A and B are shown apart, each in its own frame.
Chain A
Amino acid sequence: MSSSRIIAASELQARAERDSSARVARWMLIYILVALLLAAMSLLIGTSSLRTSLEWLRSPAALSDAVLWDIRLPRALGAWLAGALLGLGGAIAQNLFRNPLAEPYLLGSASGAALGVTVCLMAADVSLSGLAWMGELGVTGAAFVGAAAGITLTLTLCRGVLQTASLLLAGVVVAFVLGAITSLLLLRSPDTWRAMQSFLLGTTGFLGWRSAGLLALVFALCLVPAVLLARGLDALTLGEDAARSLGLPLGALRVGLLGLLSLATAAAVSQAGVVGFVGLVAPHLVRESVHVNSRQLIIAAPLCGGVLLQAADLASRWIIRPSELPVGIVTACLGGSYLVVLLWRKAQRE
């Protein structure tokens, strides 16, 4: 079994290497271009008509400038960054656990982050929509503690059996329990219930320059080490024994990657709420379109995740404008249908 997997993995890798990296680069360029296109669209789409938006661009005024440059642009950028962080988290999780269904949401880390945010907000009696810098940092810190605790709990529960369904089962259990604790806390303060509910359903509405800055900082902090650690991930796909024989410090590698996963999830959740499926779908979409090694996946999955959340954000504010859908509902609908297609195709192949 394991030898056949090693053969399969090395074959995959050989194919990935044959696939010129130019092809991967071309896809990355496509993702970036789509992101820019969506950013341009999100400048034009909002509560105003297209014509009004164009007029604003031509003849600036204080108020329209605020809408265009302080709301729509940072919102598009923030959505891209949050999606990129989730995509990065998904790429790390799927490679680290060699499990195609691993992602921040299913591993309990997103629920942990949400619980951290809830506890922090209730303790300080503030709300997410109007935090200053220190508040943002505090909330992100609390989310990080929650995310790390959630994922640790999941790993403890599944006792290191990572590839099989037990990891996901443990993750789902942890996600439910932490979600229940969050709901319990919210029930105790009915005044904040509805506002927190929209956070738990995912919300991009209040992403401003401060959020975008924080997300960008965390993205840089996560992406660079993740790329550096990617070679270790590649070795891990060959199996633990193979990785150990290459002289890799497996323990340190795992802890480092789990830390990055928690940080990425925490930042995304603290700014955009609980947005499911982006972390799951982004790495799959990348792998569907091009053969990648771990390092390429770790760069391409965030690019793809960013585009996904940007598109979901556009949809959430366009479908019932000038009201707004929670963005998590949009990603769940899109991501859920994609997962069904994925499973269906897999069943067909088998």
Chain B
Amino acid sequence: MNPTLRTARLLLVMVASLLAFQALAHEPIVLSDAAHQELRLDAPPKRIVSLLPSLTESVCELGECARLVATDRYSNWPASVQTLPKAGGLEDVQVEQIVRVKPDIVLLVHAPRLLDRLQSLGVVTFQFEAQAYPDIARNISVLGAMLGVPERAKTLNAQIEQSVTAAAAEARRRLAGRAPLVYYEVDDGPYGAGPDSFIGQELTRLGARNILTSDLGPFPKLNPEYVVRANPDVILISPAEAPNLANRPGWSEIRAVREHRVCSFPPDVRDTVIRPGPRIATGVQALADCLIRVAP
């Protein structure tokens, strides 16, 4: 991201927070979403539908879990959201379910068809971006402003940043100058996590080097040969795949496979790694523990 854009976004967050303060004095809340659509709210929304687990988690971590009236089917944390009505996933949303719970606002990420449908039904939507690491703090700030709890958002962001910084510092200290070459496999297409994805950015912060390059995009589908050629020191992969890596053609030659430098996370930990939400510090800690444990 270029510095101008980053400054612009920072400004946006500041403006949003400022406006949120005004909301306390019964001023309307004005926010601009990832699609540059302006949202005007007279009061913080009381009935919220979230269609992304990380957004659900953020709303709850801001202490406003009670405002959620429905979520997507993948939202499973904290436990209280599991009993809420489920409106499908982003690819197969049940629009009727959303309309039925009469939300004041629907929180989602880029999904043009769904957005059009909801807007034509008069449902208020707000679009987030959740690709890169900075999106996490930005989304929490925007949600804080929207829900009228900007201070709590600030505190939460500070806590996250502090934990991540501490985890990164500890990892770098214990890696002591080693910069392991890492391959994070999202699934066995094989799709990998590139350096510009939030997972890639976290790994970089921990002092690891990614075998993928930025020009491939955040989550590229790879020729398996690419991974063998890159010869990563460490592979992070799902528990189902981890024991079978040596069965893949040529992969037994990869250092990480040869020397068993492979990490995989149980589902509940994996959620904290792959969701760009408020529990990201737990995910970063898991990544750090892995690198410290297996990096050569």
Contact = CB atoms under 8 A, between A and B. Distances in A.
B71 interface: no
A323 B247 contact: no
A319 B216 CA distance: 13
A50 interface: no
Interface string A141-163: 00000000000000000000000
A132 to B, nearest CB: 6
B41 interface: no
A130 B223 contact: no
Interface of A is mostly: helix
B28 interface: no
Interface in A190-210: 190-192, 194-195, 197-198, 203, 205-210
Contacts, number: 107
Contacts of A210: 247, 249
A194 to B, nearest CB: 5
Contact of A47 (B225, B245, B247): B225
Interface stretch (A62-70, A247-255, A338-346): A62-70
A46 B229 CA distance: 10
Interface-central residue, B74, B188, B246, B252, by most chain A CB under 10 Å: B188
Contact of B248 (A62, A63, A125, A206): A206
Nearest to A46: B225
Interface in B221-258: 221-226, 228-229, 231, 238, 240-241, 243-250, 252-253
B226 A130 contact: no
A130 B190 CA distance: 11
Contact of B222 (A125, A194, A324): A324
B92 interface: yes
B220 interface: yes
B63 interface: no
A129 interface: yes
A70 B223 CA distance: 14
Query: What bracket does the count of chain A residues touching chain B fall in?
Result: 35 or more
B27 interface: no
A315 interface: no
A52 to B, nearest CB: 9
A48 interface: yes
Contacts of A46: 223, 225
A310 B86 CA distance: 45
B49 to A, nearest CB: 19
B78 interface: no
A322 B249 contact: no
Contact of A209 (B190, B226, B249): B249
B229 A191 contact: no
A137 B290 CA distance: 34
Contacts of A195: 187-189, 191
Interface-central residue, A127, A130, A194, A197, by most chain B CB under 10 Å: A130
A206 B249 contact: yes
A62 B223 contact: no
B224 A206 contact: yes
A47 B187 contact: no
A317 B221 contact: no
Interface stretch (A3-11, A71-79, A167-175, A290-298): A71-79
A47 B244 contact: no
B228 A130 contact: no
A208 B224 CA distance: 11
Interface-central residue, A63, A75, A125, A317, by most chain B CB under 10 Å: A63
Given A191-B187, A198-B189, A208 B221 contact: no
Interface-central residue, A129, A203, A205, A206, by most chain B CB under 10 Å: A129
A131 B250 CA distance: 13
A128 interface: yes
Contact of A127 (B89, B226, B240): B240
B247 A71 contact: no
B244 A127 contact: yes
A187 interface: yes
A67 B253 CA distance: 9
B190 A70 contact: no
B89 A190 contact: yes
Interface in B196-230: 216, 220-226, 228-229
B240 A67 contact: no
A126 interface: yes
Contact of B187 (A70, A72, A194, A322): A194
A205 B223 contact: yes
Contact of B249 (A47, A65, A190, A208): A208
25 contacts: A46-B225, A63-B228, A66-B252, A67-B229, A71-B225, A71-B228, A127-B188, A128-B188, A129-B188, A130-B244, A130-B245, A131-B244, A190-B89, A191-B187, A194-B187, A195-B189, A195-B191, A198-B221, A205-B223, A206-B249, A207-B249, A208-B248, A210-B249, A323-B223, A324-B223
The 6 closest A-B pairs by CB, nearest first: A130-B244, A208-B249, A66-B253, A70-B250, A66-B250, A71-B250
Given A65-B253, A317-B225, 5 more contacts: A63-B229, A130-B248, A210-B247, A323-B216, A324-B221
